[in-house]
Every structure is written in structure tokens, then in C-alpha cells.
């Protein structure tokens, strides 16, 4: 959607998630090097059209230096979170949903890989890796 938007500096991403289901957020902001601020929408559970992909969503957003709050997104149907924040080298904090259940997620490799400034992941204890087939570098270089 916004992949490789090198001039994008801020995004107030708003959408009526109840009436406009999103099944994939893969690569959504990938390689938006200059993105520094972001507001995410509220995306409730949609049983008919579940959100299943978030892979590489923020990969390469190296200037993203504010907390990414994903707490308003229903992520329990996501099967691929690999590379989600990979190379977000300025990212200080991530807030995950309080009801996060990753039992359906089979890919978590490089989830926070090379996030050198990351010092807080709120609700990280809810990341259950038992179903994941791919875990390489999940916290690599953080």
C-alpha cells in the first residue's frame, strides 16, 4: 500500500475496519525509510475476512522512532508475522494487543530482528512460539 514511499514521514492510518476488512497488511510500510510517526486504526475481529498476514509490515522503517501501537488491531488470526519490524533500527517501543494469542502464527522469524533501539515490547509475554515453524532471529540484534 505505502511500500517504498521514501518521502512519507508521518501517517495517520484510519479506516473503518468493521466495514472494510483487511486480510493482509504485508509490506504495508516496507522500506519507508523516512517514516517517523504513525497512528494505526482500530481493526476488530472479522470472522469472514480475518487479518492473516502482517509480514514485513514495517520492515526497513529505519527512522520510525516513536512507539508503534498495535493494541487496537485484532491479531489472533495472523499466521505470518515474520520480518514485521525487521531493521526498524530507531524503534524504541511496541505495544501489542492485551488479548494477543499467537497460536495460529507459524512464522515469527526476524519479528524484531535488528531493532537496535527497541527497549520495550508491551505484552511480549503473550507471544506464544509453540506453533511457529520459523523462529530464526526473532529477537536478533535487539
Residues with Cβ within 8 Å of 19's Cβ and at least 6 positions away in sequence, in order, are none
Assigned C-alpha cell, 47: 470472522
In which residue are the cell numbers 466495514 written?
A: 19
Q: Per residue in 95-116, pLDDT tens?
A: 999 999 999 999 999 999 999 9
50-90: pLDDT as tens digits: 999 999 999 999 999 999 999 999 999 999 999 999 999 99
Q: Considering the chain, what is the average pLDDT of its residues?
A: 94
**Which of 19, 29, 28, 74 has its CA nearest to residue 52?**
74
- Phi and psi of 124, rounded to 5°? -60, -25
Amino acid at each position: 500500500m505505502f511500500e517504498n514511499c521514501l518521502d512519507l514521514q508521518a501517517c495517520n492510518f484510519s479506516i473503518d475496519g468493521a466495514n472494510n476488512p483487511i486480510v493482509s497488511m504485508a509490506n504495508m510500510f516496507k522500506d519507508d525509510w523516512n517514516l517517523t510517526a504513525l497512528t494505526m486504526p482500530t481493526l476488530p475481529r472479522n470472522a469472514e475476512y480475518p487479518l492473516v498476514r502482517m509480514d514485513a509490515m514495517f520492515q526497513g522503517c529505519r527512522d520510525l522512532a516513536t512507539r508503534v501501537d498495535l493494541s487496537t488491531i485484532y491479531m489472533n488470526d495472523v499466521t505470518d508475522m515474520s520480518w514485521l519490524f525487521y531493521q526498524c533500527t530507531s524503534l524504541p517501543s511496541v505495544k501489542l494487543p492485551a488479548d494477543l494469542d499467537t497460536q495460529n502464527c507459524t512464522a515469527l522469524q526476524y519479528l524484531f530482528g535488528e531493532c537496535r533501539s527497541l527497549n520495550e515490547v508491551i505484552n511480549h509475554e503473550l507471544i506464544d512460539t509453540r506453533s511457529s515453524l520459523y523462529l530464526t532471529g526473532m529477537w536478533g540484534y535487539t
